[in-house]
């Protein structure tokens, strides 16, 4: 089970209704943050999520609306007494940019901060979750991420195990990945249940690398800067329309689509949502501070 909290759903500049891009995904007590626009720490402070429980932060690219909130958040964590280590990741050049910002601010951190430049194809472990990196197209070095829960092991069939002569200490051997008389875990258990998966694109125009990466994910969080009548602007500025995001979700077999990075030009966001739902009905356009729970049964607002 995962909870997704939309801290910032706007595009480029904040408005009275939408803060800059920032999405928190929580599994148990552990939080993973995707992008960190200006004002993200304030959004976290008024949210039900504790920023002290953030275990990793993944930045998609170095445009200010996705990055400028990070130095302040890191320093606030330090001033609030954080001692737990933190991983922060971004595209090539990210670590140098962050180090420069922190040096200018002259703020010492009293916790272990591990900054990494990651590239498409890399996989980062965060507690018992994994975050995979995929390429996007936004005119500068940019990338998206897929977070996955671990698979849930299938239930052992005691009768089947007994019929194969498995008993007592044999189970410990098999559950640790070994085998007894040629019998392995898969031979005596139900199929494993796939963990929940969430993809976050950041800013991107339509491209094959995104399509391949988000195949079959439970939730696709996709930018939706433009409506279809501005599709030429979307292409020119390396962004996507709501219809393009919905078409991708449909073609990639995603479970649910969440539209973010919605331009302030659209004063009636339900029209943006309507365009997408005409293509892919399981679409939402969250406002800031809305939270959704994702389980094997689907997605619901909480």
| Position 187 in a domain | no
| Position 127 in a domain | yes
65 is catalytic: yes
Q: What is the pLDDT of residue 86?
A: 97
Structural domain that includes position 271: 2-152+193-301
Q: What is the pLDDT of residue 177?
A: 81
Q: What is the pLDDT of residue 21?
A: 97
Helix axes of 94-105 and 70-79: crossing angle, nearest 10 degrees? 50
Q: What is the pLDDT of residue 172?
A: 84
Binding-site positions read: 61, 63, 65-66, 138, 203, 261
| Position 288 in a domain | yes
From the candidates 65, 170, 218, 288, give the one annotated as an active-site residue: 65
| Position 104 in a domain | yes
Tally the domains of the chain.
1
| Position 27 in a domain | yes
Which phi-psi region, left, alpha or beta, contains residue 29 (left: φ > 0; alpha: ψ -120 to 50)?
A: alpha
| Position 122 in a domain | yes
State how far the Cα of 140 lies from the Cα of 122, in Å rounded to an integer. Answer: 19
**Prediction pTM value:** 0.90
| Position 162 in a domain | no
| Position 48 in a domain | yes
Burial class (CB in 10 A: 0-12, 13-18, 19+), 224: buried
Q: What is the pLDDT of residue 149?
A: 96
Q: What is the pLDDT of residue 293?
A: 97
Mean pLDDT by 10 residues, the chain (302 residues): 97 91 97 97 95 97 95 93 96 96 83 96 97 97 97 79 81 83 81 90 96 98 95 94 98 98 88 96 97 94 93
CATH of the domain at 88: 3.60.15.10
Backbone phi and psi for residue 266, each to the nearest 5 degrees, phi listed first: -95, 105
Binding-site positions for Zn(2+) read: 61, 63, 65-66, 138, 203, 261
Q: What is the pLDDT of residue 239?
A: 96
């Amino acid at each position: 089970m995962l909870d997704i909290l939309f801290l910032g759903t706007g595009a480029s500049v904040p408005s009275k209704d939408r803060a800059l891009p920032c999405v928190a995904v929580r599994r148990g007590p552990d939080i993973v943050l995707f992008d960190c626009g200006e004002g993200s720490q304030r959004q976290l402070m008024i949210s039900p999520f504790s920023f002290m429980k953030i275990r990793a932060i993944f930045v998609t690219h170095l445009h200010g609306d996705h990055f400028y909130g990070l130095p302040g958040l890191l320093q606030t964590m330090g001033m609030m007494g954080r001692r737990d280590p933190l991983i922060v990741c971004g595209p090539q050049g990210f670590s140098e940019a962050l180090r420069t910002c922190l040096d200018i601010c002259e703020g010492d951190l009293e916790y272990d901060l591990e900054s990494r430049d990651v590239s498409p194809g890399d996989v980062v472990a965060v507690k018992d979750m994994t975050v995979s990196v995929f390429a996007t197209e936004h005119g500068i070095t940019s990338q998206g991420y897929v977070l996955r829960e671990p698979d849930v092991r299938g239930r052992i069939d005691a009768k089947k195990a007994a019929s194969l002569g498995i008993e007592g200490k044999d189970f410990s051997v098999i559950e640790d990945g070994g085998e007894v008389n040629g019998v392995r875990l898969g031979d005596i258990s139900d199929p494993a249940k796939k963990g929940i998966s969430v993809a976050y694109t950041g800013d991107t125009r339509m491209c094959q690398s995104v399509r391949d990466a988000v195949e079959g994910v439970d939730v696709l969080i996709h930018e939706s800067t433009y409506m279809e009548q501005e599709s030429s602007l979307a292409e020119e500025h390396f962004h996507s329309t709501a219809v393009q995001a919905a078409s991708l979700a449909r073609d990639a077999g995603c479970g649910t689509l969440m539209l973010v990075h919605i331009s302030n030009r659209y004063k009636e966001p339900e029209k943006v949502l309507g365009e997408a739902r005409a293509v892919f009905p399981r679409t939402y356009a969250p406002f800031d501070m809305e939270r959704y729970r994702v389980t094997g049964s689907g997605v619901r607002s909480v």
